[in-house]
């Protein structure tokens, strides 16, 4: 009698020791749970479907993506939560946004969950979830065809700005402008520079003549100095040099001892600094004419260089 009692007692102890292990393993055997978050939906309306799965932490679980079969529903989007593990059990949960155009009064969905085990895969179907279709229009009686009402009047539509066409047109226009600039840009720049040269030269001649006339009428050295200063500044801007800050000797050397420049500036210096006026205006007129003629020659030289 004692010998039969001992094996029975050992079996009971073993069962008691296995209870925590079985209790921990039981959630992993629970199938994936699927449910709609609302009991009903309408045709074309977004309805949310929640799929969750509790499993052992070591399992590699894959939920359905947008390529899965959601019949009779259509996939719109999804949101998922990171895996949460508590007390040795992991929870994966994803919420799908679906819509249906099926007219069945009750529509069901059952999504599978895939488990990866090395090179093998295991597919577990979820629990079956149903949702009721809420009709906006009551169904017609049996054998009665609903009367259709024709409505062919056009409704006003707000005009939309066609961004792609406008952007494409702007791109083509920029390409055309770039091509024109590459083809004719150099010539246009030459024409503009020639226009500025002529305009500045005409303005110089007009101002120079005004100073010479004032000197002739007043015999004032101030007007003669203004004419010489205007001549120096014009050549400085024309040739991009610094002769307006040079002395007479340095200017003559800068222009390779040009005879017209040397004689004109010598006569001007004798009148301005030596206060030596001749009986007539021949020498001063000659100085003014030589400076104007030299400015014309330098303008023509620069114009030819730009027009090459």
- Six-digit token string for 265: 């500036």
- Asked if the structure places residue 13 within a domain, the reply is no
| Domain closes at, from 114, 133, 152 | 133
Structural domain includes residue 91 = yes
Give 78's strand partners: 96
In the prediction, which pLDDT does 277 show? 61
281 membership: H or E segment, kind and range: none
Task: Report pLDDT for 8.
Answer: 43
The count of structural domains within the chain is 2
In a domain, 247, yes or no: yes
**Residue 102 shares a structural domain with residue 195:** no
Q: Judge contact between 87 and 38, C-beta under 8 A.
A: no
In a domain, 145, yes or no: no
pLDDT of residue 282: 79
**Pair 186, 119 in one domain:** no
Q: What is the pLDDT of residue 53?
A: 95
> Residue 63: how many CB atoms within 10 A of its CB?
20
Is residue 200 a contact partner of residue 239, using CB atoms and an 8 Å limit? no
Q: Between the CA of residue 96 and those of 1, 47, 85, 188, 242, what are the distances in Å?
A: 64, 8, 22, 64, 80
State the pLDDT at residue 149.
79
In a domain, 63, yes or no: yes
Crossing angle (nearest 10°) for helices 282-306 and 259-272: 140
Whether residues 41 and 129 fall in one domain? yes
Same domain for 110 and 190?
no
Please report the pLDDT score of residue 181 as a whole number. Answer: 78
Residue numbers of the domain that contains 43:
26-133
Amino acid 276: pLDDT: 64
Which of the residues in the chain have pLDDT under 50? Answer: 1-28
Where a domain ends, among 106, 133, 160?
Answer: 133
Domain end among 133, 166, 193: 133
Do 124 and 32 form a contact (C-beta atoms < 8 A)?
Answer: yes
Query: Which pLDDT belongs to residue 124?
Result: 92
pTM of the model: 0.44
CATH of the domain at 47: 2.60.40.10
pLDDT for the residue 230: 94
> What is the distance between the alpha carbons of residues 201 and 235, in angstroms, rounded to a whole number?
10
């Amino acid at each position: 009698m004692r010998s039969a009692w001992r094996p029975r007692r050992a079996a009971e102890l073993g069962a008691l020791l296995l209870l925590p292990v079985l209790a921990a393993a039981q959630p992993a055997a629970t199938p994936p749970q699927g449910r709609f978050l609302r009991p009903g939906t309408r045709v074309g309306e977004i309805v949310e479907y929640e799929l969750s799965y509790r499993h052992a932490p070591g399992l590699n679980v894959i939920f359905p993506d947008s390529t899965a079969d959601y019949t009779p529903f259509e996939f719109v989007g999804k949101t998922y939560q990171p895996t949460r593990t508590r007390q040795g059990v992991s929870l994966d949960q994803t919420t799908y946004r679906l819509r249906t155009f099926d007219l069945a009064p009750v529509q069901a969905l059952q999504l599978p969950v895939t488990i990866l085990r090395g090179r093998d895969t295991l597919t577990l179907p979820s629990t079956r979830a149903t949702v009721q279709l809420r009709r906006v229009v009551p169904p017609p009686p049996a054998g009665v065809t609903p009367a259709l009402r024709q409505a062919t009047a056009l409704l006003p539509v707000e005009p939309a700005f066609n961004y792609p066409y406008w952007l494409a047109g702007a791109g083509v226009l920029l390409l055309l402008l770039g091509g024109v600039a590459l083809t004719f840009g150099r010539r246009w720049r030459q024409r503009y520079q020639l226009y500025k040269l002529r305009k500045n030269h005409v303005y110089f001649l007009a101002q120079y003549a005004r100073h010479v006339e004032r000197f002739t009428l007043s015999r004032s050295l101030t007007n003669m100095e203004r004419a010489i200063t205007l001549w120096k500044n014009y050549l400085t801007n024309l040739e991009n040099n610094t002769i307006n800050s040079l002395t007479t000797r340095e200017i003559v050397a800068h222009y390779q001892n040009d005879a017209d420049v040397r004689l004109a500036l010598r006569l001007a210096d004798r009148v301005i600094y030596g206060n030596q006026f001749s009986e007539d205006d021949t020498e001063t007129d000659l100085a003014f004419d030589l400076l104007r003629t030299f400015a014309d020659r330098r303008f023509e030289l620069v114009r030819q260089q730009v027009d090459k």
